[in-house]
A and B are shown apart, each in its own frame.
Chain A
């Protein structure tokens, strides 16, 4: 997909002017937060499982070369073909070669974030191969021509009214009403024939298992199996960090993933795929290809971003992020939105291009709290900001402002004077309402909401007053 992270500020301004977007985001993230909280409350072992998840991922990353080779050996033993790709281009070239070797006209696809990373949609389109997205949300955004706005629910930016209008224009047998059930039924009718007529099915993987060579897909819709069983060929594109050592280790993550992502114990369909159709099997692909993709993960492994490779792509961080909740996924301009995207996008593109992302964060820490594998997202963003400063990527106005602040803060009398004047001016401007609708230099804030004026005096003024009072009472 086209990266627009360098236009983050303009994207945000545009997003904030779409009232429908806030409605859609609010309806969905609120529900997901409530469901997640409920299912975690019912699982007293959660913290222990989460720590185990972190330890397993760290162990796998520390031995990643060993596990990749073990996976390769076992996948080949199950009859699959394993390909390696350092870059997105190498990955799409490999996939296109397989498509061409089979003279593929039509491909069904189960959503995968890795597929988005390597730009599989664009690569197929450029080569005249029809791509049918089978995940309902991907089907919606494919019809709308939109990029995904959330990693688990790519059509989160659409209200059901938007979807109804879209299906009425695009479906062969359109829905009869705006009812969500009718909309789902309409998509079922539309997609059913396409599953069986496709030449190739492409999927990602939620996990790959080293000691069995298994590729694991997790869905609620059942579209992974309907995409991979009927066609002659199944191609898997997967990032090298998705490895787990054994099926037992995988069960730990299966318990974590659905709880974090959707607030349920398990998704409806969890499938372990092991190679192509066996002798006598009545269905299943004749060939299975697995493309292992790096796309700069090995660079992350080498530096302070290594914990990010624990990520299992649940999306909980974005569901709980106030910034995501206000601006939605598109504004981030990369494959991965929200807090995880603010770390991954600079790592996969460049900090220069995506420099606004790690700064679009209030550091409230919710993302870290809800992360099922304990990724310290706020710390990683802070480290990225430091790196920006060191590499002189921070905007000049920001460096100047920080310079002024640093000058004052090292001279306490000046800092106290400055904050006293500031508080006084803000209270004067706010008048009796106690809220500011205009504040010079803070238009970005006041355009969309009022700024509460300071209630009392500065901290130092209050501190002195309390100290004086305490002394008066003879307690200090």
Chain B
């Protein structure tokens, strides 16, 4: 940190303490207080008791606002067939960008030409979401060597596989998982809900502003068992 930054730091913290008119803080008290602000998170979440995670996720993802299409298959090999079906249906070239993720790379893609890099005008990329969130129809991606960020932002068609068992109910459920694993965060956690859109001209919703214009989601396998 430069001298200027150090001086500004001391000055800002000093001004805050004098504005609040108090001395040093008790860190444990602050943690207690901030936990008390979220006494029961359930009262702060929209309810959808009549729907399973899968049902709500599909309803949201295919809503008029999110514009995604959804396919459901039983296992990963059938997901490859589902991707092929999508390419055929939209008369797209059978050529995809695929992140270098072993779980995707090791599938049998023989009918489709696969490459593991991404260019700004990529027609189709296929990915595997780490989780999904039912409340909002959101997909969660975490960056790591096998899962680069730009695969989710560059292509025109974004085809995403997601395992049914990883569809969580709320965003807070995802934070709970991360916390149980030590609250370690990747460089990027991307919550993606539908396709890239803009309403910057007369508030009209238009798709494909900078990122994907089309989203196709393939839900793989059985739902997580609900423990009662």
Interface residues of A (CB under 8 A from B): 24, 27-28, 31-32, 42-45, 48-49, 52, 55-56, 59, 62-66, 68-69, 78, 81-86, 90, 93-94, 97, 134-137, 140, 153-155, 158-160, 163, 180-181, 183-185, 187-188, 191-193, 195-196, 211-212, 214, 220-223, 225-226, 229-230, 240, 245-249, 251-252, 254-255, 262, 264-284, 292, 294, 298-299, 301-302
Contacts and interface: CB of A to CB of B under 8 A. Distances in A.
A293 to B, nearest CB: 9
A7 B177 CA distance: 54
Interface in B165-220: 170-172, 175, 178, 183, 185-204, 206, 208-212
A52 B44 contact: yes
A352 B75 CA distance: 68
B144 A281 contact: yes
A249 B188 CA distance: 19
A61 to B, nearest CB: 8
Given A86-B12, A266-B193, A188 B208 contact: yes
A56 B37 contact: yes
B169 to A, nearest CB: 12
A279 B15 CA distance: 39
Contacts of A193: 120
A265 B121 CA distance: 30
A271 B135 CA distance: 17
Chain B, interface size category, equals 35 or more
B188 A82 contact: no
A63 B198 CA distance: 37
B211 A221 contact: yes
B210 A226 contact: yes
Residue with the greatest number of chain A CB neighbours at <10 A, chosen from B4, B5, B145, B188: B188
Interface stretch (B19-27, B82-90, B106-114, B124-132): B19-27
Contacts of B47: 44-45
Contacts of B171: 251, 254
A214 B152 CA distance: 20
B66 to A, nearest CB: 8
B189 to A, nearest CB: 4
B12 A298 contact: yes
A163 B199 CA distance: 13
Nearest to A192: B120
11 contacts: A31-B203, A81-B1, A137-B200, A184-B208, A195-B210, A196-B120, A225-B152, A226-B210, A284-B149, A284-B188, A302-B15
Contact of A181 (B8, B183, B199, B206): B206
B65 interface: yes
Contacts of A49: 44
A423 B12 CA distance: 56
B209 A84 contact: no
B45 interface: yes
B225 interface: no
B30 interface: yes
B226 interface: no
B148 interface: yes
Contacts, number: 267
A78 B185 contact: yes
A215 B41 CA distance: 23
Contacts of A294: 8, 12, 15
Given A221-B198, A272-B185, A274-B188, A229 B208 contact: no
Contacts of B13: 65, 68-69
B53 interface: no
B46 A43 contact: yes
B100 to A, nearest CB: 8
Contacts of A84: 1, 5-6, 8-9, 12
A324 to B, nearest CB: 15
B105 to A, nearest CB: 14
B50 interface: no
6 tightest A-B contacts by CB?
A222-B211, A280-B145, A302-B19, A298-B15, A137-B200, A84-B8
B12 A52 contact: no
Contact of A268 (B27, B175, B178, B196): B196
Contacts of A135: 200
B35 to A, nearest CB: 9
A225 B196 CA distance: 11
A188 B209 contact: yes
Contacts of B192: 268-269
